[in-house]
Homo-oligomer: A and B are copies of this chain.
Amino acid sequence: MSEPVALDLARLRRSCSECSLQMLCLPTSVDGRDLRRLDTVVQRRKPLVKGESLFRSGDPLRAVYVASEGSFKTVVVNTSGEEHVLGFHLPGELFGLDAIGSGHHRCEAVAMTDARVCELPFAQLTSIAAQLPSLQGQLLRVIGQSADRDHDHVDLLSRRQAGERVALFVHSLSQRFRRIGRPADDFQLPMSRDEIARYLGLVLETVSRGFSRLHEDGVIEVRGRRVRILDEEALCLAANGGNDSLTPQPRKRDRA
């Protein structure tokens, strides 16, 4: 009975090895038949090119998604035509959950780079979850984690100082890179300054100045979208309003 299970596990792990959904796709206690059934749910999708939309505001909830390659942003455009970025989604992070409440997507998902996604049809997912308690639990947890990210976003937006927002953004992005198994102190930003700005509730110039400031304070190294974290502790400090000490007086002081 455990022979075919091992095979299925190996295959699934191979296809989703870097995926945040491992814990969703591979509940700890499921037998071979369940696993095989689960396997049928995950669908490969054709690749998307940079700028292409995966779903749009108003689309009915069909599936939730995970990028296996590339990154996405979810955005809303308000009545005045401004675009707000609700979230960034790195490879391996689940997104598209925004439609669960109403049955329709409230935002648009756009590929920030060429990308490839796995699609999990929602109806099938829930119907299988109904028969598989461990999957139900995992599903709830993953949804909850997505809500946690929204809370982090709110926390970010509530910071008064623009510099704090930028620092916290860099730091949390770093953490997320670590979680998906990539270097946390040296990475390439998949998004533009403008997109960061629309995520942080700032304008792009202010974001740029934030990066520059962190750079000249020796906290990070920035060249365009390439970021390297030199002093994580200082970064945390800067994210919590502690960077006053670095260039304290606005008076004519070079540094230290």
Contact = CB atoms under 8 A, between A and B. Distances in A.
Interface of A: 76, 78-80, 84, 86, 97-102, 106-107, 126-127, 129-130, 133, 136-137, 140-141, 143-148, 150-151, 153-155, 157-160, 198, 201, 240-242
A126 B144 contact: no
Nearest to A239: B79
Contact of A155 (B76, B147, B155): B76
B146 A147 contact: yes
Most buried by B among A101, A106, A146: A101
18 contacts: A80-B242, A84-B155, A86-B154, A97-B144, A98-B148, A99-B144, A100-B140, A101-B141, A101-B148, A106-B151, A130-B136, A140-B143, A143-B143, A143-B144, A147-B150, A154-B154, A158-B198, A160-B201
Contacts of A160: 201
Per DSSP, chain A at the interface is helix
Contacts of A145: 101-102
Contact of A153 (B78, B101, B146, B154): B154
Contacts of A148: 98, 101-102, 106
Contacts of A98: 144, 147-148, 151
A242 to B, nearest CB: 8
B155 A102 contact: no
Contacts of A80: 240-242
Contacts of A155: 76, 78, 84
Nearest to A84: B158
A144 B102 contact: yes
A101 B133 CA distance: 17
Given A101-B147, A102-B144, A143-B147, 10 more contacts: A76-B155, A86-B154, A101-B143, A101-B148, A102-B148, A107-B151, A150-B150, A154-B157, A157-B201, A160-B201
